[in-house]
Structure 1
């Protein structure tokens, strides 16, 4: 019997914290760059050059978390039959947190024993483990730490299906993820649909990221003999698959391997005893990938940082394109859907770990559900894809409802009810009714909506400091930087405010940027994200004394402590800089690939970098 029920997941968890109210105007650091595009095949080069995001707007950054964890209960939804038990976290992007094979008691995924955000996603906050559903652009989705709508519907066979859905805001795309566990099946079926309700092409990106334990003998297999290797050098190179790269524990450096899949698409991670997890899909989801952290000191440190005491992990992944560096064109009015299957693997260990790569792959493939069966399930699911949920198990954001208020659209199966509208949407509902946003220039402004429709509405709204501010953010998101600067200057002229001053600082550099930041901080001295940016701007402009003035009275912890060490260094006081390091501070939102900790230490001391500060990936 298949059951779907609510429960609570209790584990040590950090608070996600408040959103950063400063609009993310700089290009996302999480976006990878390809340094050898001219050497790539034309179709791959075209995909790499199309559709990349320059900003995560209208989404704000989620960088308010800490490293302090206490026992908390996270809402969870469980779908189980007599073979599998799947645990889903609707408040955290619908993450498939756990998949247990009940007859053997084996956990098939890497189950993180804590919830600890870290700076790896497009919006900063991301957490390791389970299966993550990534829609949007290269990088971990803007929804990875956001709630989704959830409901139960009746499946094609009468068993309960768990439906999750939301509105992805950087692309303005509605999507749904349906979990289906037929009676007696040892395969969790996951049906995904992404729809483009607009009259224009939209760049689309989807990758299902599957974390599994990494042990010394773990081998990753896929139906491929070549893969595109991408590392921190920025090059994308075609390499042969068989050999060491299929054993992630033998790799020294972090890397991505995008398999050149031949035949039906699948990927598996198999342990020394021949057991493991396989993911397969219908043909729409063609891409397959292996991500590994590598066994360098930095790679091991990152894994401990993300999942303290839990051991190593790797990720096998599945996506729409050949690589995660590409985007595809979703035509106007169209929707794409596919079916994925997740289940246990059992194969002869001698064959799976043998030198005959073809035999090893065939040993895994022989135990997978047939392509015909997967197609049958997919066709059956399509008959319920448009069924409207009658009662909700969880509620998502109000952004989809707001877009439907602006322009009614038919999205059967994924309702965005008016009841989901909240304070974040109120200023924009008022704008639809003809009332422009306005307010106290020292109060945090509402986040700016930047798509072409809202930008046009704002252009015709009456002029005040806040409408000028929003116009500037929308111009910036559209690549019209000079128009943005002009709008922010008008905002400051209308009523001096820290928000437009800060944006003007981002748009310039050197002493002018440093001066603008100081003006902004004078108006909002308690806004930590602003102070952090301002101190960094003083140091970048060669003004350590001004940086020191901004640091006065601040607790030296986290990124503030790192900035204090850099300020001491810029003043030539190496002993004071090293004393900051001796406190053992941690930068909670240290970015993947960031070298500021190690670079500053190298300038301060000739001693080896302390292990707890060693996040170097190359």
Structure 2
């Protein structure tokens, strides 16, 4: 018996604080055109999120379109067991690309990992076709303008979930992409890892290759730290995890010619387990088993204009351990790809003004006359999507056609932002230099510092900001301090004056920059004491505080000192391509 149900479920959501009003172009901790986040509220609010469940006699699978189209739950109906890790709330933690990663369920990423829409709603549709139920989730993503759709389906007699992921590129340019399916499972010391024999790349505090042996059993208790493993070779196509104490597990299989990527990520037992607790309501660890069409997360591929990519994979929930070499690749009869919906832009607060502008531009006929709504306020964090190819023309039109002078300046600012997102940096900088807007000075200051290393000109841009609120916003404060630091010791008094204006604020970034200022002044003992006294929030794959700590101890002639955990930075080797470089997107 097949059944489909849809409802809205109350969920505890810990809201995230945006980093600030400067667009995430050349932002080391962001990905344009998405807003990046600096912290997460400790107290959650209640939100109702859309859920779609499909089930047969053996499985009930729940999908949440309001969390990027992820699988929220898989229930084994015979035992009543939940197979996946359930975090208990939506509690984002700091990790690229948006500094807002949430654990639990099964995440599907595109065109970067982790998916930038984890905490966003996407389109969804569901239908029964023949003896199979389908749920489709997807959107036209705003970074490059490509379509992605993930399809989940259950047949009447299936004891596995079929997942098919499809990408198309309707734009005029080739774009880089990666994609991984990331299943989170509850972890216990006795959790067993059933993976193929082969060569693996181990990502821990070092990057190294080693052999995953067939002659031993691997359990969570065998690992004392966070680490990941990528399979470079394998002797079978299936892998998975089973936990005897829970009586449940999950296995994955796919055609290795199309979906060869296999990954295991774990926090181990011991001090790193606390990193897993950051994303949940309770102190429970989890393990991620991942698969994808590329071998490693340092890899990207390209989707050519007009091209389509599709791959199929299967998830096999189990209440007993399985022999991965005995698992056969299923071959369900799926609906033709031509019937898989390719969704359009999602109408979010961050896309609606730009869709309205394109509509007004299209309605203007020759592009010379017409009316458009006022541009978004620069404080709104609503930036022109780089994936909307024709938006440059529309912004140029609006900058000339709008009767209001302030609006014309803002349209020009947004055109400069869009051009910078297209890697037309010199043109963008020239446009920004024509504007007398605080938002333009703020972005100009960053571009001059990061791209041109013209620190004096960057300083002039920041000094041109008139609004006291913009000047003292932590994001702008930090950006300006980086510029002043790059100029050298002559700016120390100025930096100190600025810090006196925010010395009551408890902000991770401000404290970190104050410690850097003390180092620049040569006050190493004071800088060390500041870093020791402040409880920083955790952040993955970022090492600025670690480097600062090491620099302090080298100056104090106490090298090789242990990195304090309260600095909030992991000790992993730098690795991975969570995003495609802003400076070389393709």
TM-score computed with the length of structure 2 as normaliser: 0.79
Instruction: For structure 1, list consecutive stretches of 5 or more residues without a partner in the other structure.
Output: 30-54, 353-362, 388-411
Aligned residue pair count: 542
Which residue in the other structure is 2:575 paired with? none
Following superposition, the deviation at residue 133 of structure 1 comes to 0.6
User: Could you say if the C-alpha distance between residues 141 and 571 of structure 1 is closer, same or farther in structure 2, counting changes exceeding 3 Å?
Assistant: same
SS at match of 2:498: helix
SS at match of 2:433: helix
SS at match of 1:381: coil
Following superposition, the deviation at residue 248 of structure 1 comes to 4.7
1:207 aligned to 2:175? no
Following superposition, the deviation at residue 136 of structure 1 comes to 0.7
Please say if residues 25 and 421 of structure 2, whose CA atoms lie closer than 8 Å, have aligned partners that are also in contact: yes
Which residue in the other structure is 1:532 paired with? 478
Please point out which of 332, 341, 346 is paired with 1:413.
Answer: 341
1:454 aligned to 2:391? yes
After TM superposition, the structure 1 stretch with the greater mean CA deviation from structure 2, 489-498 or 124-133, is: 489-498
What is the correspondence of 1:556-595 to structure 2 with a 5 Å cutoff?
Answer: 556-568=506-518, 570-571=520-521, 584-587=534-537, 590-595=539-544
Please point out which of 48, 64, 67 is paired with 1:89.
Answer: 64
Please say if residues 182 and 288 of structure 2, whose CA atoms lie closer than 8 Å, have aligned partners that are also in contact: yes
Please say if residues 180 and 190 of structure 1, whose CA atoms lie closer than 8 Å, have aligned partners that are also in contact: yes
1:382 aligned to 2:326? no
SS at match of 2:352: coil
SS at match of 1:124: coil
SS at match of 1:135: coil
Distance 1:181 1:81 in 2: 7
User: Could you say if the C-alpha distance between residues 442 and 477 of structure 1 is closer, same or farther in structure 2, counting changes exceeding 3 Å?
Assistant: closer
What is the correspondence of 1:305-320 to structure 2 with a 5 Å cutoff?
Answer: 305-307=278-280, 309-320=282-293
Which residue in the other structure is 1:519 paired with? 464
Distance 1:103 1:339 in 2: 26
Residues 396-419 of structure 1 deviation map (CA, whole Å, 9 limit, x = unaligned): xxxxxxxxxxxxxxxx62353897
Distance 2:358 2:473 in 1: 25
SS at match of 2:434: helix
RMSD: 3.8
Residues 90-118 of structure 1 deviation map (CA, whole Å, 9 limit, x = unaligned): 21111212222232233222221232111
SS at match of 2:109: strand
Distance 2:134 2:562 in 1: 54
User: Could you say if the C-alpha distance between residues 555 and 56 of structure 1 is closer, same or farther in structure 2, counting changes exceeding 3 Å?
Assistant: closer
Following superposition, the deviation at residue 592 of structure 1 comes to 2.9
After TM superposition, the structure 1 stretch with the greater mean CA deviation from structure 2, 284-293 or 255-264, is: 255-264
Following superposition, the deviation at residue 237 of structure 1 comes to 4.0
Please point out which of 181, 201, 219 is paired with 2:154.
Answer: 181
Distance 1:12 1:493 in 2: 39
User: Could you say if the C-alpha distance between residues 596 and 160 of structure 1 is closer, same or farther in structure 2, counting changes exceeding 3 Å?
Assistant: same
Distance 1:210 1:428 in 2: 38
Following superposition, the deviation at residue 193 of structure 1 comes to 1.7
Which residue in the other structure is 2:360 paired with? 430
Distance 1:495 1:592 in 2: 29
Please say if residues 118 and 306 of structure 1, whose CA atoms lie closer than 8 Å, have aligned partners that are also in contact: yes
User: Could you say if the C-alpha distance between residues 508 and 220 of structure 1 is closer, same or farther in structure 2, counting changes exceeding 3 Å?
Assistant: same
Distance 1:216 1:101 in 2: 22
Please point out which of 396, 408, 413 is paired with 1:469.
Answer: 413
Instruction: For structure 2, list consecutive stretches of 5 or more residues without a partner in the other structure.
Output: 401-407, 573-586
Please say if residues 347 and 364 of structure 1, whose CA atoms lie closer than 8 Å, have aligned partners that are also in contact: no
Following superposition, the deviation at residue 459 of structure 1 comes to 6.0
What is the correspondence of 1:64-463 to structure 2 with a 5 Å cutoff?
Answer: 65-77=39-51, 78-137=53-112, 139-157=113-131, 160-198=133-171, 200-231=173-204, 233=206, 235=207, 237=209, 239-242=211-214, 246-260=218-232, 262=234, 265-272=237-244, 275-283=248-256, 284-294=258-268, 297=271, 299-307=272-280, 309-345=282-318, 363-366=323-326, 368=327, 370-371=328-329, 374-375=330-331, 377=332, 380-383=333-336, 385-387=337-339, 413-416=341-344, 422-432=352-362, 433=364, 434=367, 446-451=382-387, 452-455=389-392, 458=395
Which residue in the other structure is 2:571 paired with? 617
What is the correspondence of 1:12-23 to structure 2 with a 5 Å cutoff?
Answer: 12-18=12-18, 20-23=20-23
Which residue in the other structure is 1:63 paired with? 37
1:596 aligned to 2:524? no
User: Could you say if the C-alpha distance between residues 122 and 346 of structure 1 is closer, same or farther in structure 2, counting changes exceeding 3 Å?
Assistant: same
TM-score computed with the length of structure 1 as normaliser: 0.75
